[in-house]
Amino acid sequence: MAADQAGPVVTTPYGSVRGRYERGVAVFRGIPYAAAPFGPLRFRPPRPPEPWDGVRDAGTFGPTAPKPPYSEAFAQYLSDPEIPGDDCLNLNVWTPEPGPGARLPVLVWLHGGALTRGSSAVPVYDGGTFARDGIVCVSVNYRLGVEGYGLFPDAPPNPGLRDQLAALIWVYETIAAFGGDPDRITLCGQSAGAVSAGALLAAPRTQGLIRRAVLQSGPPEVSDRDKVRRMVRRMAARLRVPATAEAFAAVDRGLLLRAQAEVGRLGSPVLGGPAFGIVVDGDLVPGDPLKALTEGTAARDAELLMGWTRDEYRLWLVPGGLLERVDRLGAVALAGAMARCHAGPDIPRGYRLLHPGAGTAEIVGQLVTDHLLRVPLHRLADARPGASYLYEFAWPSRLPGLGACHALELGFVFDTGGVPESKKLAGEGAPQEVCDAMHAAWVRFATTGDPGWAAWDATHPVRIFDDGGPRVAHGPRDAEVALWATASAVPEPPRHSVPRAPGAELASAMRRLRRSVGALRR
């Protein structure tokens, strides 16, 4: 590492970069880890960037991947900066000691956003707080939506996930120059970022690259290839072009994003519908990541930190008033959730008995949250030979109706609760002691592999983060999770078939609910 009056200078495999000192840590933003994925590289796996001469300025965030903006209903809660430019495959590094020899633990952050939105430039994800506490923090931009996860007959699948792999390899090969230890990499993600982290953790090509992983509000999973194809075909129909990468590459970028947003508005984490996702590709993702991690040999010794928020579903249902609409729909909404989760009648009946005073929206939301998040994370913890640590974020937002919703915990993880973008979800007066506890747990885990409470065992310890002080509850939601193992369920249809609801009334319920979501998101 060298330094001049403008800031620290570090040499990467493609050229030198100059960062900035901010609040006592060195920050390098917008470092390219791959070439711009446009022109002949569009819809293709990432390629190395062109080397540069001299010292490249790394003082500002690089371009963000093309993405549609959030709807007005969601934009009041979530921030998503857009930075123009083609060189969107870039990353940022925060380090307390920018030079070889420090050998500090490394935390690599993959943002969420349903694989269609988000970026490393969101102020909530300021890695300076981790660097302040002795960790080299790296955040990554990757291709989104149809550019990153479209499924075409004339292009390889999962280019966005391949971007993340390229970034991870860059970190492994380069991070020592920034003060990091390549043998102590913790791969972290939230929501779609956690799904990505799980897929990479299970991938044969990453074995030996990842020492630990944090999965927040997202399990290792793959999407049905037909579901992703339908998303592409619906876009193609709107654009009046063939459903091929060659045809999509010829479409104006803004028009492509508008078509993606229009088709995607009918989808929802609660209700399903068309969506982009990681698919089995026989290469980077040779099979189901959850199965590889629970039944195979993938990352057997890696420590895992896994968590969820108590009321994940409220971010999906509160914006635009969908929560109240689900309550009004009553049995129809419950039938739709049963179809979404392939749940037999005993499962919602069990939820009613466990929560006798809950409204339909709460039952639907918790049922879907358990199906999507808690059940697979419990299953993963049960099956792992390596240590697993589970937690629940339960502090409720100060804003009406949100509770402890999806993404609320991120300002606590990064200790950035004071920035305006965190307050959009948390409101005013978020308790610093909860922030301190959660951030410290991630720091300890990235540093030692132990976040500070008992590892998962037969007693099912779960650390609860709320304003009630430090505590560990044993299986706080075991009763709900157990329903999925003991109650009847409708088998999930084969991957190659079109999913069908267990009964015509459930299929009708799904169509009605999706139309409601689409109307509220216009």
Residues annotated catalytic, as ranges = 191, 312, 406
How far apart CA 308 and CA 150 sit, in angstroms, is: 28
For residue 449, the 8-state DSSP code is: S
| 415-422 contact pairs (CB < 8 A, 24+) | 415/129, 415/439, 416/123, 416/124, 416/125, 416/126, 416/129, 419/123, 419/124, 419/126, 420/123, 421/79, 421/122, 421/123, 421/124, 422/123, 422/124
Structure-block tokens of residue 163: 């971007």
Length of the chain: 522
8 Å CB contact between 49 and 155: no
Q: ∠310-367-269 over CA atoms, to 5°? A: 80
How far apart CA 19 and CA 92 sit, in angstroms, is: 10
How far apart CA 26 and CA 171 sit, in angstroms, is: 16
How far apart CA 294 and CA 448 sit, in angstroms, is: 23
How far apart CA 210 and CA 200 sit, in angstroms, is: 9
| DSSP run (H or E) holding 352 | helix 346-354
Instruction: Reduce the DSSP state of residue 413 to 3 states and report it.
Output: helix
Residue in 103, 109, 99, 115 with CA at minimum distance from that of residue 139: 109
Would the CA dihedral through 340, 341, 345, 347 be positive or negative? negative
CA atoms within 13 A on the CB side of 157: 20
Residue type at 462? V
| 356-359 contact pairs (CB < 8 A, 24+) | 359/327
Q: Convert 109-141 into a string of H (helix), E (strand) and C (coil).
A: EECCCCCCCCCCCCHHHCCHHHHHCCCEEEEEC
For residue 7, the 8-state DSSP code is: E
Instruction: Reduce the DSSP state of residue 331 to 3 states and report it.
Output: helix
Structure-block tokens of residue 431: 């308790």
**In what order do the strands lie in the sheet containing 7-12?**
2-4, 7-12, 15-18, 55-57
Residues in Cβ contact with 225 at an 8 Å cutoff, skipping those fewer than 6 apart: 151, 279, 280, 495, 496
- Segments of 384-514 assigned E as strands: 388-393, 461-465, 471-474
